[in-house]
Amino acid sequence: MGTIAYVDGRYVPHGRALVHVEDRGYQFADAVYEVIGIHRGRPVDEAEHLERLGRSLAAARIDWPVAEKALRIKIVEMIRRNRITSRGMVYIQISRGVAPRNHIFPPSCHPVLVMTAKALPSFDWSAACRGVAVITTADLRWRRCDIKSTSLIANVLARQDAHEAGAFEAWLVEGDVVTEGTASNAWIVTHDGLLRTHNADNAILNGITRRAVMHLAAEHGLSLREGAFTLSEAKAAAEAFLTSTTSMVKPVVRIDDAVIGDGAIGPLSRRLLAYYVEHVGEPGH
C-alpha cells in the first residue's frame, strides 16, 4: 500500500489511517466504493468511475462527502503524494458516517471519505497474455449487485475458494447462468466469433472495463450479444476472458475442469487486450 492515505478530510501516513469503531461502513458495510486504475500516472476512465460512484451513492441514499470536482483534485493529490508515476490504483470508499449503532439512518452525521492508493507492477504484455483458471460457485450475493457496495463477504468467500483451488477467480453461477466474477465481469466468445457477457442488470456490477471493452468491440466491428450465458455454454466456448480495472482483459483458459479453446489466449481476447492496452495508454507489444 502507498504511504499516504486520506481519511475524512486529512492526508495521513498509511500506518496511522484509522476510522472510528462506530463508522457505519465498519459495522454495517453501509458504504460504497470505487477503484480507479492509474496508467502513466493518470486516472483512466475517471468520469465513468465517478458517475458510477454517484449512482451507488444515490442508490444507498448516502450524500457526496465532497463535490465531485473536489474529489477529482483529491485523486490527483493521492497519486502525487504516493508518487505513482506509472501504473497503480486509487481506492475510494464512502460510508454513511459515524454514529451510535442503529440500523436506522442517524439524524445527523456526515459521510466519511477514505482513500488509499498504491503503485502496481509496470504493464507486461506477455504476463497479460497468460491465461488463468477460474472455478465456479453459487452466486450467494444480494440482489443489488449493480451497487458497488463494500458488503463483499459472499465475494470474499468465493474468491478464497478460488485461491484455495489454485484458481485466479471464481465465476458466480445463479441457476445455470454465469453472472460475473467476484471482482470482475465474465465474458465468452462462441465458436462463430460472437462476444457474450451478462447484461447490465441488478445481477452484476456494470464494470467500467466491461463498458470500455464493449465500446472497443463495437468500434472494431466485432459482434457482441449482451445477455446471460450458461455455465455449459461457457465451458464449450471458443474463448473466455474476464475484465476489471486491475486485471484489464484477462484470458481465461480453464473453467473448473474444462479447458477453453486450446488452453492459451484466443485471437479475439488478444485483440481486445491490445485495444484496451491502447485505451489506457500503456505501451503495446
Ligand X SMILES: Cc1ncc(COP(=O)(O)O)c(C=O)c1O
Which residues contact ligand X by CB under 6 A? Answer: 35, 180, 183-185, 205, 207-210, 243-245
Shortest gap between Cβ of 51 and ligand X (angstroms)?
Answer: 11
Is the CB of 35 or the CB of 177 nearer to ligand X? 35
Close Cβ partners of 264 (under 8 Å, ≥ 6 residues apart) = 131, 251, 253
Of 43, 205, 48, 24, the residue nearest 102 (C-alpha): 24
Of 8, 52, 231, the residue nearest 145 (C-alpha): 52
Shortest gap between Cβ of 184 and ligand X (angstroms)?
Answer: 5
Please state, in angstroms and as integers, the Cα–Cα distance from residue 92 to each residue in 105, 166, 192, 213, following that order: 22, 29, 40, 23
Q: How are beta strands 195-197 and 248-255 bridged, if at all?
A: unpaired
Shortest gap between Cβ of 144 and ligand X (angstroms)?
Answer: 12
Annotated catalytic residues are: 148
Is the CB of 52 or the CB of 96 nearer to ligand X? 52
Is the CB of 119 or the CB of 183 nearer to ligand X? 183
Is the CB of 93 or the CB of 209 nearer to ligand X? 209
Cα–Cα distance, 3 to 18 (Å, whole number):
14
Cα–Cα distance, 134 to 127 (Å, whole number):
17
Shortest gap between Cβ of 284 and ligand X (angstroms)?
Answer: 20
Shortest gap between Cβ of 182 and ligand X (angstroms)?
Answer: 6
**Helices 208-219 and 267-280, axial angle in degrees (round to 10):** 110
**Helices 68-81 and 46-60, axial angle in degrees (round to 10):** 120
Is the CB of 53 or the CB of 119 nearer to ligand X? 53
Exposure string of 226-251, with b = 16+ CB inside 10 Å and e = fewer, is eebbebeebbebbbbbbbbbebbbbb
